[in-house]
Amino acid sequence: MRVFFFCLIFVSLNLQAQDAVSPDGGRYYGPVRGGIPHGTGRFEARTGEIYEGEFRNGELIGSGSYTRPDGARYRGEFRNWKPDGKGRFVEPGGGIYEGDFKEGLYDGQGTLRMPNGEVFAGKWRQGNYFDEAEHRKAALSVEAALYRQRPLLDAALAALAPSRPGTISLYLLAIGGDGSQEVFRREVEFVRGKFDRDFGTRGRSVALVNSRNTADSAPMATLTHIREALRAIAAKMDRDNDILFVFLTSHASKEHELKLHQNHMLLRGLRPAELAELLRETGIRWKAVVVSACYAGAFIEPLKDERTMTIAASRYDRQSFGCADANDFTYFGRAFFKEALATSKSFDEAFLKAEALVGEWEKRDKTEEASLPQMHNPRAISDHLRRWWSQKQ
């Protein structure tokens, strides 16, 4: 779980007295020495963030506190303006972490209590939860999980319902790629539940998930399983009239490979051109594809045609955010599927709302570069989606 803090450097400021205003509009209350904060003080940033504690030569160090306008707050040890040592952090969504920090991240021994009752207690590494007992158990269950995969996939595909005559049916394939962080599994489960409930995909949805919790109970996200799922869906649907919605959520590399990773298994990732070829093989005419990953914009060009809408959480050269083991959503997943779709009358309207939300959250968290979500929405697929949307009302 990545914790973002506002890193301030006062060394270059010429603060001649207490209650001084910095060039960016922030205000410092407390003693100074040689023109920089030194002693017990308080800094109020122009963005509404507040730091209180012991300042030494312009650096917040030792015991202190931090609050943010979105409700986040921290009390504990600091080093170079970041939580470092023992502390307690209350997340904006209500989760509470108590334990060790290093350079602003959960790192060491600690416990995170989520609002939904989940508890993650044990070892953390650079913001990610590492359950040693669970890790050992997963390593031992790899062979059993592989043995069960064939019947699990066969059962999921056999349950697919055929197209409904006289209407446009929506089919969903949801893929959670990286099993090292549970956020992708949770996101896939939410999206499938929402689409089954609100968009008529019950009996017409398939989820492929890599997770330490479902390796022996759900079909995994592998290239072979993706190909077989697409073929099975194509065989059930009206390929000239129905719509396939594909959702992919995972990490991705700068080389534009979507990560397909199951703990203790070596799986090859999915490249944009490969996904485009897999979709072409199906003969499915109408498609909407949403990719929630870093560098996701790289999928737009290979998938581009007049009957395919493609939505990406980030530009081809930008990272996206929110990928953390204890999170329920990535930033874009939350913005698009949880927040925007509930109040939208089309997927493109939801994208515009999600784009604005992600921008607000990234500005709040002061990410180094904006993710810049992307959308390709040709007229043909837009009109067909509009016909489907009108019939579901």
- State residue 319 phi and psi, 5-degree precision: -85, 155
Query: Mind listing the domains of the chain with CATH numbers?
Result: 20-130 (2.20.110.10), 137-392 (3.40.50.1460)
> Residue 36: what pLDDT?
80
Residue 70 reports pLDDT greater than 80: yes
> Residue 134: what pLDDT?
60
pLDDT-derived band at 142 (thresholds 50, 70, 90) equals: low
Residue 3 reports pLDDT greater than 90: no
Residue 9 reports pLDDT greater than 60: no
**Residue 65, H or E segment:** strand 59-67
- 4-18, 52-66, 108-122, 289-303: lowest mean pLDDT where? 4-18
Mean pLDDT to the nearest integer, 102-106: 89
Task: Please spell the DSSP secondary structure of 9-46, one letter per residue.
Answer: --TT----SSSEEPTTS-EEES-EETTEE-EEEEEE-T
What's the rounded Cα separation, in Å, for the pair 55 and 39? 5
Mean pLDDT of the chain: 88
- pLDDT per residue over 149-208, tens digit each? 999 999 999 999 999 999 999 999 999 999 988 999 999 999 999 999 999 999 999 999
CB 207 within 8 A of CB 220: no
What's the rounded Cα separation, in Å, for the pair 390 and 393? 6
pLDDT-derived band at 29 (thresholds 50, 70, 90) equals: confident
> Residue 4: what pLDDT?
36
pLDDT-derived band at 332 (thresholds 50, 70, 90) equals: very high
The C-alpha torsion from 149 through 152 and 157 to 160, rounded to 10°, is -160
Residue 141 reports pLDDT greater than 60: no
Residue 330 CA: distances (Å) to CA of 151, 159, 313, 333: 31, 29, 9, 5
Residue 383 CA: distances (Å) to CA of 18, 152, 286: 62, 36, 11
> Residue 82: what pLDDT?
87
Residue 76 CA: distances (Å) to CA of 92, 96, 202, 255: 17, 13, 48, 39
Residue 136 reports pLDDT greater than 70: no
- 7-11, 130-134, 228-232: lowest mean pLDDT where? 7-11
> Residue 127: what pLDDT?
81
Q: Let me know how many helices (H) and strands (E) the chain has, helices first.
A: 9, 19
pLDDT-derived band at 22 (thresholds 50, 70, 90) equals: low
Of 343, 284, 261, nearest to 163 by C-alpha is 284
Token pair, residue 66, equals: 């931090």
> Residue 143: what pLDDT?
64
Helices (H), the chain: 132-140, 142-158, 183-198, 223-236, 272-282, 300-303, 331-333, 347-365, 379-392
pLDDT-derived band at 223 (thresholds 50, 70, 90) equals: very high
What's the rounded Cα separation, in Å, for the pair 41 and 18? 9
- pLDDT per residue over 341-383, tens digit each? 999 999 999 999 999 999 999 988 877 799 999 999 999 999 9
Residue 7 reports pLDDT greater than 70: no
pLDDT-derived band at 306 (thresholds 50, 70, 90) equals: very high
